[in-house]
């Protein structure tokens, strides 16, 4: 089973929930799919055993074959090609590697070359399988990295907990779409609610069942619960506001290490997710 842990925005405690959940269920596989800023390793200090480079195709134009007909540039939906005055310009950072231009060119002047956009690292952390992706800072899209990470999950292994990147960009949608359940971590503020709604919409559109974890919950904070009730999305866990939780986080200590009493709550969270996915 694959569980995506997502949040509409950063700083909601998504990572600490994902890491703590993985530490509380047996044989979990933890996937850090925030390839732009992976941070689960800060909590788990994994040992990396394998590194898999991830490539993307980039067109290369042989100008001796080209007659500047511009079919390639007209075809490219991402404006990654321009044909001006006997030159074909390629803008690699806009190219999505769809290979379309290679086939569209009537003169076979374009060949697909590869460039490395990042890597996926596989290792172990505290008895768990640990997978994380890293996107090169100059690269615009983490989608391919995240796909490679998900492809590395052992289908015969235990549940995969995937820490998605914050926001609702393509890579996050991809992560949620490939999961059986989407756990949404939020905080009870108007901003939190706003971004949570966007993330709920994504899960809903993709047909992936979701549930909510409210972090830093205060006694009178009902705005998240009201929204969940309206949409019929369950609130599965509330983590009360506690300065010590934040302090543990800043020391790089997952919730369940700092407060072992949370382990049981996270286990029942997992059982509840399992029940909802199975039925």
Partner 1 sequence: MKIAVTSTGSDLDAQIDPRFGRAQYLLIIDVESYEVEAIENPNIAAGGGAGIQTSQLVVDRGAEAVLTGNCGPNAFRTLAAAGLKIYTGLNGSVREAVESLKSGELTPTEGPSVPGHFGSSG
- Residue 59 binds ligand SF4 (CB under 6 A): yes
Task: Enumerate residues 6+ apart whose C-beta is below 8 A from 241.
Answer: 216, 217, 218
From the list partner 1, ligand SF4, none, partner contacted by residue 120 (C-beta under 5 to 8 A by kind): none
Distance, CA of 172 to CA of 146 (rounded, Å): 9
Q: Print the binding letters for residues 24-63 with partner 1: x by CB under 8 A, - otherwise.
A: ----------------------------------------
Could you tell me the two tokens for 147?
A: 């796909």
**Measuring CA to CA, how many Å separate 206 from each of 1, 162, 199?**
17, 17, 11
Q: What number of CA atoms fall less than 13 Å from residue 203's CA on the CB side?
A: 27
Residues 154-213 that bind partner 1 (CB under 8 A): none
Instruction: Select the span of 10-18, 27-35, 82-90, 193-201 touching partner 1 (CB under 8 A).
Output: 82-90
Rounded to a whole number of angstroms, the minimum distance from the CB of residue 74 to partner 1 is 10
Structure tokens at 167: 């926001």
Binding partner 1 by CB under 8 A: which of 10, 11, 65, 91?
91
Q: Does 246 bind partner 1 (CB under 8 A)?
A: no
Element holding 179 (H helix, E strand): none
User: Mutual orientation of helices 170-177 and 190-206 as an angle, nearest 10°?
Assistant: 50
Q: Is 78 in the site for partner 1 (CB under 8 A)?
A: yes
How far is 255 from 20, CA to CA, in rounded Å? 6
- Interface residue with partner 1 among 49, 87, 99, 268 (CB under 8 A) is 87
Residue 12: closest CA among 241, 253, 266: 241
**Does 170 help bind ligand SF4 (rule: CB under 6 A)?**
no
Query: Which does residue 87 touch among partner 1, ligand SF4, none (CB within 5 to 8 A, set by kind)?
Result: partner 1
Q: How far apart are CA 207 and CA 197, in angstroms?
A: 15
101 lies in the site for ligand SF4, by CB under 6 A = yes
Residue with tokens 């199975």: 278
79 binds partner 1 (CB under 8 A): yes
Say what the alpha-carbon torsion angle 149, 154, 159, 162 is, to the nearest 10 degrees: 0
Among 23, 30, 109, 269, binds ligand SF4 (CB under 6 A): 109
Binding residues vs ligand SF4 (CB under 6 A): 59, 61, 66-72, 75-76, 78, 80-81, 83, 88, 95-101, 105, 107, 109-110
The residue ranges that bind partner 1 (CB under 8 A) are 73, 78-80, 82-85, 87, 89, 91, 94
């Amino acid at each position: 089973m694959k569980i995506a842990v997502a949040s509409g925005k950063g700083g909601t405690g998504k990572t600490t929930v994902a890491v703590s959940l993985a530490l509380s269920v047996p044989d979990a596989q933890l996937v850090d799919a925030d390839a732009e800023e992976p941070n689960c390793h800060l909590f788990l200090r994994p040992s990396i055993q394998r590194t898999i480079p991830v490539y993307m195709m980039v067109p290369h134009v042989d100008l001796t074959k080209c007659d500047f007909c511009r079919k390639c540039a007209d075809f490219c939906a991402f404006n990654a090609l321009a044909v001006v005055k006997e030159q074909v310009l390629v803008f690699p950072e806009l190219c999505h590697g769809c290979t379309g231009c290679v086939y569209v060119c009537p003169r076979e002047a374009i060949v697909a070359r590869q460039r490395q956009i990042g890597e996926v690292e596989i290792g172990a952390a505290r008895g768990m399988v640990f997978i994380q992706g890293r996107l090169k800072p100059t690269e615009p899209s983490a989608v391919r990295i995240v796909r490679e990470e998900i492809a590395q999950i052992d289908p015969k292994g235990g549940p995969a907990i995937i820490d998605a990147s914050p926001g609702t960009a393509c890579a996050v949608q991809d992560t949620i779409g490939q999961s059986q359940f989407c756990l949404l971590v939020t905080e009870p503020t108007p901003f939190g609610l706003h971004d949570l709604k966007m993330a709920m919409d994504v899960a809903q559109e993709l047909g992936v069942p979701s549930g909510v974890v409210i972090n830093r919950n205060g006694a009178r904070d009902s705005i998240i619960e009201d929204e969940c009730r309206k949409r019929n999305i369950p609130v599965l866990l509330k983590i009360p506001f506690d300065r010590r939780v934040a302090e543990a986080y800043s020391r790089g200590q997952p919730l369940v290490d700092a407060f072992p009493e949370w382990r049981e709550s996270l286990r029942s969270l997992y059982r509840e997710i399992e029940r909802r996915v199975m039925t």
